[in-house]
Amino acid sequence: MERLHRLEQLYLDNPAYFLTFCTAGRKPILANEHIHSAFLSFCREAIARSIFVGRYIFMPDHVHLFVKLPAPSENLSNWIKSLKNYLSKMLRQQKIQAPHWQNGFFDHVLRSDESYSDKWLYMVENSVRGDLVKEWADWPYQGEIHPLRFKKFAAVTDRRYIKV
């Protein structure tokens, strides 16, 4: 059996996350302008706490997004909880009964620019795979709030890390 290889680079300052969270029972309640606008408003207010949302897509029953949080002052779970609560308030305004969300969320720390690009292609192709649009660029509930940048770090043999 082949041994696992060590990571050659890490992003230690302000890690970038790929996140996914779903609606309760996979109800198709998210793909509308009201929820999209609420999400944009929430993310723009997060800038004051140095939280930056990159690319995102709202599917009818789930959300994919990239986010960078200041480490370690901000807790990812608390931020997702706040986002879900904010969107739930908007869903209640639309007379959509709770529960709105599955418990928890999926998160993945990004390791490189290539990972960001690969995940983005997977995200936007969801709208085509789901027969919602013929071309992913036609899906209205997606975008990019902030271009996310990465600081590369190279692993050194004595387990310290240096910027490259």
For each of the chain's 164 residues, which pLDDT tens digit applies?
566 554 455 445 667 889 999 999 999 999 999 999 999 999 999 988 889 999 999 999 999 999 998 865 568 899 999 999 999 999 999 999 999 999 999 998 887 766 788 888 888 898 999 999 999 999 999 999 998 876 554 444 444 444 43
Q: What CATH code is carried by the domain that includes residue 62?
A: 3.30.70.1290
Relative orientation angle of helices 33-46 and 76-93, to the nearest 10 degrees: 140
Q: Which domain holds residue 115?
A: 14-158
What is the spatial distance between Cα 67 and Cα 55, in angstroms, rounded to a whole number? Answer: 8
Confirm whether 142 is domain-assigned: yes
Strand order in the sheet with 142-144: 106-109, 16-22, 62-68, 52-58, 142-144
Confirm whether 75 is domain-assigned: yes
Q: Backbone phi, then psi, for 20, in 5-degree steps?
A: -140, 135
Number of structural domains the chain divides into: 1
Of 35, 32, 53, whose CA–CA distance to 143 is shortest?
53
| pLDDT at site 5 | 52
Confirm whether 163 is domain-assigned: no
| pLDDT at site 70 | 82
Residue 4, both tokens: 């696992």
Confirm whether 124 is domain-assigned: yes
Confirm whether 74 is domain-assigned: yes
| pLDDT at site 19 | 94
| pLDDT at site 115 | 77
Confirm whether 20 is domain-assigned: yes
Confirm whether 22 is domain-assigned: yes
Confirm whether 164 is domain-assigned: no
